[in-house]
Amino acid sequence: MTSLFGASRTPTSAPSSPAGNLFPPLFTPPPLRPRPYPEVAARLESIKNSIRNELALQNAQELMSKVNDKCYAKCIPKPGASLSGSEEKCLSQCMDRYLEAFNIISKSYVLRLKKDKLDLQTPSL
Amino acid sequence: MSDALTAPKLDAASQKELEQFLETEQAQARVQTQIHTLTSLCWDKCVGSISSGFSGKEQSCLENCVGRFFDASDYLIRRVEQQRAMAGAQ
């Protein structure tokens, strides 16, 4: 599922993150402490991974559902007996545009969060 | 989890770490949800007909969309607070 969204994105989206990760990390995880029991550490890691995967899946599903809604509205104003070639072309362009918009919004959202945080630290009043 | 009975128990430190991990992931999930909502809102507001790229107007509309959304929210909150202060002064 992630390859659908992660692979062919523009260089504007999180250049340093690993392939398949659409979103730049907003929070840096705390450093790992050494653990006496490796099997406990492994279990903890596997729980974390399944949570990460679950959230990533939810996120991808939400994105796909939005793409479907928006692009259906834009590209298929009058449903015919089958999808036409031009409708398919519109759908594929629309999906690219929606993901592009999503990346623009993510970037400006993160910038805004950072700005608001700075404003809180150094109040201008 | 099918291996819940055979898997090693998490010690207190690991449970604490898992709790912190969950908190961060939940915060991040809330952010993602908000980004989905904003993308939908800004898409409806900014994007016209579909082509192979955004026009300059669409691009700058999308770039400004989030900032103005939060400005509008801040403005409205300030206004409500002002009105409340005025009502309290009377």
B86 to chain A, closest Cα gap in Å:
21
> What was the ipTM of the complex prediction?
0.84
Range of the domain at A63: 2-8+16-23+32-121
Residue B3 lies in a domain: no
Is residue B7 one of the residues assigned to a domain? no
* Contact check, Cβ <8 Å, B27/A29: no
Q: What is the pLDDT along chain A (125 residues), one digit of tens a residue?
A: 444 444 444 444 444 444 445 555 666 666 665 556 788 888 889 999 999 999 999 999 999 999 999 999 999 999 999 999 999 999 999 999 999 999 999 999 999 999 888 888 776 55
Q: Which pLDDT score is estimated for A7? A: 42
Q: Cα(A23)–Cα(B18) distance, rounded to whole angstroms?
A: 22
Domain total of chain B? 1
Is the CB of residue B5 less than 8 Å away from at least one CB of chain A?
Answer: no
B71 contact A CB<8A: no
Whether residue B25 lies inside any domain: the answer is yes
Contact (Cβ atoms closer than 8 angstroms) between residue B64 and residue B87: no
Of B17, B24, B43, the CB nearest to A98: B43
Residue A96 sits at the vertex; the CA angle it makes with A90 and A102, to the nearest 5 degrees, is 130
Optimal mutation site among A98, A104, A116, interface B, most CBs of chain B within 10 A: A104
Contact at CB, A55 and B10, closer than 8 angstroms: no
Q: Residue B20 belongs to what domain range?
A: 12-47+54-89
Residue B68 lies in a domain: yes
Q: What is the CATH number of the domain that holds A39?
A: 1.10.287.810
d(CA B18, CA B79): 41
- Residue B2 belongs to a domain: no
The pair of three-digit structure tokens given for residue A28, joined into one six-digit string: 């840096």
When divided into structural domains, chain A yields a total of: 1
Query: CB-based contacts of A24: which residues, under 8 Å, 6+ apart?
Result: A13, A14, A16, A17, A106, A110
Q: Which CATH number is B26's domain given?
A: 1.10.287.810
The answer to whether the Cβ–Cβ distance between A43 and B47 falls below 8 Å is no
